[in-house]
Structures are given as C-alpha cells and as structure tokens.
Chain A
Amino acid sequence: MRAPLVEEFLLSLRSFLVSLLAVLGAAQAAHAQERPYFVTYDHYLEEPGNVEIAVANTTGVPRAGHSAYNAPWLEVEYGATGWWTTELYLEGVTAGQDGSGFAGWRFENRFRLFKSEHRLNPVFYLEYEHVNEASRIQKEIVGSGSLPFEPIDELRHEYANELEAKLILSSAIHGWNLAENVIFEKNLSESEGIEYGYSVGVSRSLGGLASGRTCYVCAENFALGVEAYGGLGSSMERTLSGTRHFIAPVLAWHVTPRSTLKVSPAFGLTDTSDRYLMRVGFVYELPMRWRR
C-alpha cells in the first residue's frame, strides 16, 4: 500500500502532465529569436501560440569565503498574442554544505506597446514573485546589499511576495540590438519601499549573408554581446552605497533552428557583488506547425 503522501504526489503529477499535454496539444507553432542576454530584455516577444522551454543555471562565487552556489531554474514561455508574452519560472538553489531547496516561482508578463518597429521600442513588464530568501538566480538585481549567506535551510522558510515592473526600451540599429531596462520592485511582505535596478545590453548576430546549406558551427548561428546590470538603491535608501553591479559578456549559439545554448560569465564590480557569476542556459522551442 502506497503512503498517502506518495499517492498525493503521483496524483498531482498526473494532473500536471495532463494539463501540460492539453496546453502543448493546443499550441501549433514555433520559432522566435532567443535573446542572448540573461538579465536584459529586448523588445522581441514570443510569437503568438509558441511555447518555449528553458533550463538554466547561475553559478555564483561570492567574496569573503562564502560557499559557492548553484541556482537552477526552469522557464516556460508562451506567446499569448503578438503583443503579450507570459512566462512561468520555477527556481531552486544548492550551496554545498549550506543546504539546498526550492526557492520559489515567478509569473511574468511582457506587453509590447506599439504594433510596429520604431527607433525606440517600449515594452512594459510586470512580474509577481513568490520567492524565498534563498533565491540566487539573480534574474534581476535591485536595491542594495549583498546576498544573505545564512544556511539555505534557514533562508528557504522566509518567503516574500514581490511585484516587479520594468520599462524595457530596445532598438535595432544596423544589425545591433541595444536594450535598456529600468526596474522597480516592491516587496509586498515587508515595508522596504520600492527598490530600483537597471540592466543594459548590446548584441548582434555574427552572420552576414546566410549560406544556402544547413550548418551548425557557422557565424550566422552565433550572437555575441555584453550586458551590465545592478541595483540602484531604494526609495528608503537613496544611495548607491552597497549596491551590486556586474558586467557580463553574452554568447548565444543557435544550435538548431529550435534550440539555443547561452553562456555568460559575469564579473562583480563592487565589494558587495559576488566575485563571479557563470550563467548557462538551454532554450528549446516546441516543434509545432500551423496548417491551412
């Protein structure tokens, strides 16, 4: 006889898989451009009806002898319409002897404000986060102060509900992408005021004229760039003292038309920043087609 907990888990898993299959069965398209950045957003949204699944990891090497950590996350992105993309994130963390565990979830929405391309393309971003203090993926950096380094087993019981808004501005200039994000985050569980952050990125595809043959390791399948991101204090601490900042080269390899491998080493620029971050991600667009 199975334990009730195991049975409940199996039932939950079955419901989830049935629901997921329903979603995937209804979706029928693929192919969009995967941005090379990990933190910065550009103005390209998921194509309507597309589903994209990504797995990624942030490895952090802190200063002052704290334990290195790994923070993996799973991301499911869906193009609800041509002007609205929605995403769900599940994240975890492991830090050697400091413990490991589930770090929370995020529900993100991006809305493109104009129907066509302009010199500056604004996108409005809104995210609800239910994450605990052990969260380490650093999908954005806001406010000030270093990451908490108490044992993960303690931190993962301290949950916060946060609302995050971004103004994304992005331009395509002669094959280059230039993107700037301004971030506002409000912790709904604490009176911390509003925390601010930023990220900027520039990137371009390395290809020129596309060859007529299928190739995997050729310039047209690579995009290269750099991004910089960090915190800008909060409405209650109007100072840049103790803020974290990083600069990070980014490389994206479109391994196949549907899959992209992304790598980005990040270098901490202030004493409160981790010394290094290493981000790796793999993105896959589900192979679905529209019919006449």
Chain B
Amino acid sequence: MARTRVQSIATAILLSVATFHSVAFAQTRSRDDDWLAPSREAARMNPLLAHPDAARGGAKIFEQRCANCHGDEGRGTSKAPDLAAADVQAQTDGALFWKISTGNAHAGMPSFSYLPELQRWQLVLHVRSLQVR
C-alpha cells in the first residue's frame, strides 16, 4: 500500500514537472528592456581586439556554453535572442562583456562570471563575428 502511494506521488511529481516545463518553455522569450550595462562597464575595451585569432577559442566556448539557447549560428531560438541582430550588435564590447558576465536570471540568461575573463572577451569577439556572416 505504502509502495503504491510512493509510486503515485513520484509519478505525479514527474508529470507535474513535465507539464510545467512544457508550458513554461514553450513560450517565446520576452526582451528585458531594463537590462542595461552601467556606463562604466559599457565603456570597457576588449583587450583581445589586436588578437582576432582568439575568436576561434570564442567560437568553441560559444558552441559549448551558448549555442544550446542562441542556436549554432547565434541566430536565436525560442529561448534566447538573435545575437546578429542590429540591436545586439549596436551594443559596445564592454556592454556585451558585462551581460555575458552578469547574466539576467529573470530572463533565463545565466551569468558566466565563472569563466576566466579572457574567455569572456573571446566570446565577445565571436559575437562580433556573427554580424558579418
């Protein structure tokens, strides 16, 4: 009897999670207009600008960390925006670096501050390379 009850509870929990997931993530993401980099952060320069080869490492990190949500080519999915879009590319390197570093938990964007700083700048280089494709 107890086993049947545990089985029912476990099944109910798992089905609830599945339903929650389907409803929550089937919706198109919404843009957070309040998510703006502080001006001091936005003014930062990419220290790798003179090392365009570093973008290859950025592409690898992008594939590992970002492509699931932003898509293989960074052109966006139902979960995350198109990084080649004009409004993204219009942002400064410093602003992109800040957004990669701090994330936005409310919009589902994780923070990547655990990555070494140079790797986050490599990601910015890669995001810049998306606009010319």
Q: Would you call A49 and B104 a contact (CB within 8 A)?
A: no
A214 to B59, CA, bound (A): 11
Interface secondary structure of A, over-half rule: loop
Nearest CB in chain A to that of B21: its residue: A26
Assuming the contacts A116-B103, A209-B54, asked whether A20 and B111 have C-beta atoms less than 8 A apart, the reply is no
- With contacts A29-B79, A290-B77 taken as known, whether A210 is within 8 angstroms of B57 at the C-beta atoms is yes
Interface residue range, chain B: 35 or more
A8 and B3 contacting across the interface, CB-CB below 8 Å: yes
Interface presence of B10 (CB below 8 A): yes
Among candidates A20, A82, A208, A290, residue contacting B105 with C-beta atoms closer than 8 Å: A82
**Which one of B10, B21, B79 lies within 8 Å of A19 (CB-CB)?**
B10
Given A8-B4, A49-B25, A290-B80, A23:B17 Cβ within 8 A:
yes
Chain B residue contacts of A288, Cβ below 8 A: 68
B-facing mask of A71-111, CB < 8 A → 1, else 0? 00000001011110000000000000000000000000000
Partner of A209 from B57, B75, B78 at Cβ < 8 Å: B57
- Using C-beta atoms within 8 Å of the partner chain, give the interface range for chain A: 35 or more
Specify which chain B residues have a CB less than 8 angstroms from the CB of A12 in the assembled complex. 3, 7
> Of all chain A residues, which has the CB nearest B4?
A8
CB neighbours (8 Å) of B111 from chain A are 43-44, 116-117, 172
Across-interface contacts of A20 in B (CB, < 8 A):
14
B residues within 8 A CB of A292? 71, 75-78
* Chain A proximity mask over B42-61: 1 for CB below 8 Å, otherwise 0: 00000000000110111111
- Contact with A32, one of B15, B57, B110 (Cβ below 8 angstroms): B110
Which of B56, B59, B114 sits near A44, CB closer than 8 Å? B114
CA distance A31 to B116 in the complex (A): 17
**A290 partner, pick from B56, B63, B68, beta carbons under 8 A:** B68
Q: Chain B: residues with CB nearer than 8 A to chain A?
A: 3-4, 7, 10-11, 14-15, 17-18, 20-22, 24-25, 35, 53-54, 56-61, 63-65, 68-69, 71, 75-80, 101-119, 122
Besides A205-B114, A220-B116, 8 other A-B contacts (C-beta < 8 A): A22-B15, A29-B79, A33-B112, A82-B104, A172-B101, A174-B117, A209-B122, A210-B58
